[in-house]
């Protein structure tokens, strides 16, 4: 079976600084890959390269055999970091979800658009937030709205950039249940700082620090050596990670 994502010799530089250095990997269809690494390791840059926002200096990216710029936009959902959102923007949750259908902000919402948006909101358990102003959504609620927006086209792949930022433990557990559910039909790629997530939910883990330090199944990839190379130390409390570090 063809991989969902295939990256070959990818390098990205910013102002002569190397951000990603000769990275290659293949992600299977319907896998749940978690990308971990220290700050500045190129995690978000990798996501932005997959989205086609950044043109790499070198290398090749294929998503379901298409280039990022050539892929049908409906195949790909994206949940960005909420810090890029203008929280003072006058809008309601339903409008934000509908904007995922049009790739523009709606002046009027058609009935069929409303139904699709409500169906997506319902799928992520956020239908009750439809008419809530964006200014009054909590971090967790906003992530849920973004997730509804990202699945409105029923995409083949969803990219999630640190979706758990600002979400409490209960909200995190809910979100992971949702991701596991979506993962039955879709490929998920998620950037996170939470190494525990990798053990409990991901099918694959990618450890990044400008270079690809490790990639594979969580128990194969999150080894002490791999984490030491990426982070410089293993400062994590999870017993399995400690075990990996000791081993």
Partner 1 sequence: MAELFELFSMPFMQKAFLAGILTGYIASFYGVFVVQRGLSFLGSGLAHAAFGGVALGILLDLEPLYISIPFTILVATGITYVKQKSILGSDTAVGIFFSLSVALGIIFLSLKRTLTTDAFSYLFGSVLSVSNADLVIIGILTILSAATWPLWGRIAYASLDREMAKSEKVPVKKDDYIIAVILSVSIVVSIKLVGIILIASFLVIPAASARMISSTFRQMTLLSVFFGILGAFSGLILSYIADLPAGASIVLFQSGIFLVTMLFRKF
- Taking the complex as a whole, the smallest distance from the CB of residue 72 to partner 1 amounts, in Å, to 11
Q: Which of 61, 96, 195, 207 binds partner 1 (CB under 8 A)?
A: 96
Tokens of 188: 């998920």
- Taking the complex as a whole, the smallest distance from the CB of residue 61 to partner 1 amounts, in Å, to 14
Question: How far is the CA of 113 from the CAs of 60, 117, 133, in angstroms?
Answer: 36, 6, 19
Running DSSP on this structure, what letter comes out for residue 141?
Answer: H
8 Å CB contact between 32 and 190: yes
The window from 5-13, 104-112, 172-180, 234-242 that contacts partner 1 (CB under 8 A) reads 104-112
Applying the rule CB under 8 A, the residues between 107 and 166 that interact with partner 1 are: 107-108, 133
Would you mind telling me the total number of residues written for the chain in this entry?
247
Of residues 54 and 213, the one with the C-beta less far from partner 1: 54
Site string for partner 1, 52-91 (x = CB under 8 A): xx---------------x---x----x-xx--xxx-xxxx
**Binding status of residue 37 toward partner 1 by CB under 8 A:** no
Question: How far is the CA of 137 from the CAs of 85, 94, 107, in angstroms?
Answer: 12, 12, 21
CA distance 182 to 158: 9
- Taking the complex as a whole, the smallest distance from the CB of residue 133 to partner 1 amounts, in Å, to 5
Applying the rule CB under 8 A, the residues between 158 and 177 that interact with partner 1 are: none
**Binding status of residue 51 toward partner 1 by CB under 8 A:** yes
Q: Which residues pair with 160 in a beta bridge?
A: 79, 190
CA distance 48 to 41: 13
Of residues 53 and 173, the one with the C-beta less far from partner 1: 53
CA distance 86 to 63: 30
Q: Which of 4, 5, 10, 95 binds partner 1 (CB under 8 A)?
A: 95
Which residue's entry shows tokens 């970091």?
81
CA distance 78 to 155: 10
Count of residues that interact with partner 1, criterion CB under 8 A? 28
**Binding status of residue 19 toward partner 1 by CB under 8 A:** no
Tokens of 90: 């006058």
- Taking the complex as a whole, the smallest distance from the CB of residue 60 to partner 1 amounts, in Å, to 19
Query: Which residues of the shown chain bind partner 1 in the complex (CB under 8 A)?
Result: 48, 51-53, 69, 73, 78, 80-81, 84-86, 88-92, 95-96, 99, 102-108, 133
């Amino acid at each position: 079976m063809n991989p969902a994502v295939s990256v070959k010799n990818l390098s990205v530089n910013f102002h002569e600084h190397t951000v990603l250095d000769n990275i290659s990997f293949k992600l299977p269809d319907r896998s749940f890959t978690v990308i971990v690494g220290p700050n500045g390791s190129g995690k978000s840059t990798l996501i932005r390269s997959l989205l086609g926002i950044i043109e790499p200096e070198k290398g090749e990216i294929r998503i379901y055999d298409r280039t990022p710029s050539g892929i049908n936009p409906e195949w790909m959902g994206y949940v960005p970091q909420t810090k890029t959102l203008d929280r003072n923007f006058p809008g309601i949750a339903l409008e934000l979800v509908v904007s995922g259908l049009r790739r523009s902000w709606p002046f009027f919402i058609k009935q069929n658009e409303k139904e699709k948006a409500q169906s997506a909101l319902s799928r992520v358990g956020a239908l009750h937030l439809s008419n809530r102003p964006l200014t009054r959504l909590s971090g967790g609620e906003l992530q849920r709205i973004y997730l509804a927006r990202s699945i409105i086209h029923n995409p083949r792949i969803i990219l999630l950039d640190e979706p758990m930022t600002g979400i409490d433990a209960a909200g995190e557990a809910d979100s992971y249940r949702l991701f596991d559910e979506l993962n039955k039909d879709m490929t998920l790629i998620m950037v996170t700082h939470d190494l525990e997530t990798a053990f409990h939910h991901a099918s694959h883990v990618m450890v990044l620090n400008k270079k690809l330090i490790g990639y594979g199944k969580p128990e194969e990839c999150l080894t002490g050596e791999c984490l030491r190379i990426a982070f410089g130390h293993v400062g994590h409390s999870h017993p399995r990670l400690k075990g990996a570090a000791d081993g």
